[in-house]
Amino acid sequence: MPLAPGIVDAEDTREVYFAEMISRLEKHTGVENLLSHVDYKRSYCVSNFVQDYNAYKGNAYGLANTLKQTAVLKPSIKNKNIENLLYTGQLTVPGPGVPPSIISGKIVANELKNIKTKNPINKPL
Ligand SMILES: Cc1cc2nc3c(=O)[nH]c(=O)nc-3n(C[C@H](O)[C@H](O)[C@H](O)COP(=O)(O)OP(=O)(O)OC[C@H]3O[C@@H](n4cnc5c(N)ncnc54)[C@H](O)[C@@H]3O)c2cc1C
């Protein structure tokens, strides 16, 4: 269930939404007492993303597609203050998803190659 990042993630809130999802599924599929068919249940939410992946505010899906976070307005791969510090992954260009994250890695790898080419090999970047 998609959620906003940084929300309060309490066990009872998870249960409320779980019940809501089950009820909607029952309504849309016409299945009665769906809960009685559940053999295993594991809850994983915002605080788990923080704990397991150090995800910013428990974010799971990258940046929201708002105007200020689109195209060239996404956070840059280059750090503004520290030279030669580059970022890659779903929180920068081209954006969220596995294919864009891999492309992001390729962009940064090429950029690093360019930086290295311009610098003598034994000198630090
Ligand atoms: C439930 C779900 C379903 C998805 N489904 C799809 C899909 O169908 N198709 C698709 O294209 N995309 C999907 N995505 C999105 C996709 O998984 C992400 O966009 C992509 O994995 C982001 O890759 P990344 O390398 O930027 O970050 P991540 O894959 O999050 O990798 C970052 C890594 O850095 C580690 N890390 C964090 N902080 C530190 C630190 N301080 N030191 C060391 N390591 C650290 C984390 O533990 C993690 O292993 C889905 C995401 C979720 C959550």
What pLDDT band is residue 102 in, cutting at 50, 70 and 90? very high
Residue 89 and residue 102 in contact, taking contact as beta carbons nearer than 8 Å: no
| Ligand 1 contacts CB of residue 105 (under 6 A) | no
Atom 9 of ligand 1, residue of closest alpha carbon: 97
Q: What is the pLDDT of residues 40-73, one digit of tens each?
A: 999 999 999 999 999 989 988 888 888 999 988 9
| Ligand 1 contacts CB of residue 69 (under 6 A) | no
Q: Considering only CA atoms, which of 81, 77, 109 is closest in space to residue 94?
A: 77
Count CA within 13 A, CB hemisphere, residue 13: 10
Task: Spell out the domain ranges in the chain.
Answer: 11-58, 67-118
> What is the pTM assigned to this prediction?
0.82
Q: What is the pLDDT of residues 2-40, one digit of tens each?
A: 888 888 899 999 999 999 999 999 999 999 999 999 999
Atom 13 of ligand 1, residue of closest alpha carbon: 97
